[in-house]
Structure 1
């Protein structure tokens, strides 16, 4: 195990979308490990390190809300992107004001969320001679303490920005509304196994005393 950190994240809204919902967005009850990993990578990531989420603490009461939003119907065609990369003249944009592109979609999201992410990072084969665990650990600590990030972390959807703060090693954990609560959230997305041909892996998300233990993707994940 590499250098471990504890990061508290919170926000007004969150949507950790269930992949089985094809049209309307429906959030999982709690943050997914892949979303937690994305927040850590938004603060500090290099090819030399790989973040591994160990635990997710659920701090607030789980509350759902339903909203409807205007969205665009289509995506930019993959073929157009490849053509543009080869120097071809093609329009790479979608006009959101076009009535043919707009459509309303419902989203079942979470309100007033707060979590603690316990995680560590491991060195990868991409690490160079100037890379070492202490260097990257100190970079992350400095950024997290000062509220700095490479890109704005978000809670499932980019429009739901996440605020964060580092929990120091000698600091007590914040009080949780889920303390003493055990719950089975069913099968939850663990992440994408890029080594196994980009296979999505799932795990049984069991919350005990407000804490979800996260298995390693190569050990505990169940393929789709």
Structure 2
């Protein structure tokens, strides 16, 4: 097992609460699944997985309300299957006909320190764990990624920096609060299941090793 730390910042973020059906409303801080996605954006292989164990909040929690245009419809699966079978079909979506204006409550000027363990899930990783550790470290130091990391929504790009010595960095936000129930992660498969936990921030730190996860 190898641990890594990333400092992640962004101008805006939205970690959408699933109970909000129409308008986008963000959780107060980044969710563990969104944190994991940042690590996976730098390095993902079938032989490894990332387990986030601690989130440090570095900046005060600030909000911004934004009204923006969104597309209300999505491409039809049936039309896509027809086009694949017949070689032609109607796949277009006309934004002017499907546009909706929605409000969103987002976070702004966010900064986090994310701590995660690199764990093997296959014999290949067990045989040569140093390979994946070195690949991730090299990519993170150079700012390279498989795809652009984002903060909840793809339009909210994240900047990242590999932290060699977290103890030498600036302290976390000096604030303690109960964050309520928060999405921890989703178990994917034939029947995807979301998992939640009671999140608590103590002196700016969310310790996920103590999280009691439930469905």
- TM-score, length basis structure 1: 0.89
2:143 to 141, 147, 150: 147
Inter-CA distance 215–89: structure 2 relative to 1 (3 Å threshold)? farther
Aligned residues between the structures: 215
DSSP-derived class of the 1:128 partner: helix
Structure (1/2) with the larger helix percentage: 2
Q: Which residue of 1 aligns with 2:176?
A: 182
DSSP-derived class of the 1:142 partner: helix
Alignment check: 8 A CA contact 1:191 1:200 kept: yes
**Runs (5+) with no aligned partner, structure 2:** none
Alpha-carbon deviation of 1:169?
A: 3.4
DSSP-derived class of the 1:45 partner: coil
1:123 and 2:120 correspond: yes
Q: Distance in 1 between matches of 2:111 and 2:142?
A: 19
- TM-score, length basis structure 2: 0.92
1:211 and 2:205 correspond: yes
Alpha-carbon deviation of 1:174?
A: 2.2
Inter-CA distance 132–69: structure 2 relative to 1 (3 Å threshold)? same
1:114 and 2:111 correspond: yes
DSSP-derived class of the 2:36 partner: helix
**Runs (5+) with no aligned partner, structure 1:** none
Inter-CA distance 196–77: structure 2 relative to 1 (3 Å threshold)? closer
Inter-CA distance 132–91: structure 2 relative to 1 (3 Å threshold)? farther
Alignment check: 8 A CA contact 2:48 2:125 kept: no
Alpha-carbon deviation of 1:171?
A: 5.8
Alignment check: 8 A CA contact 2:47 2:121 kept: yes
DSSP-derived class of the 2:133 partner: helix
Q: Which residue of 1 aligns with 2:212?
A: 220
Alpha-carbon deviation of 1:111?
A: 0.5
Alpha-carbon deviation of 1:77?
A: 1.8
Alignment check: 8 A CA contact 1:154 1:160 kept: yes
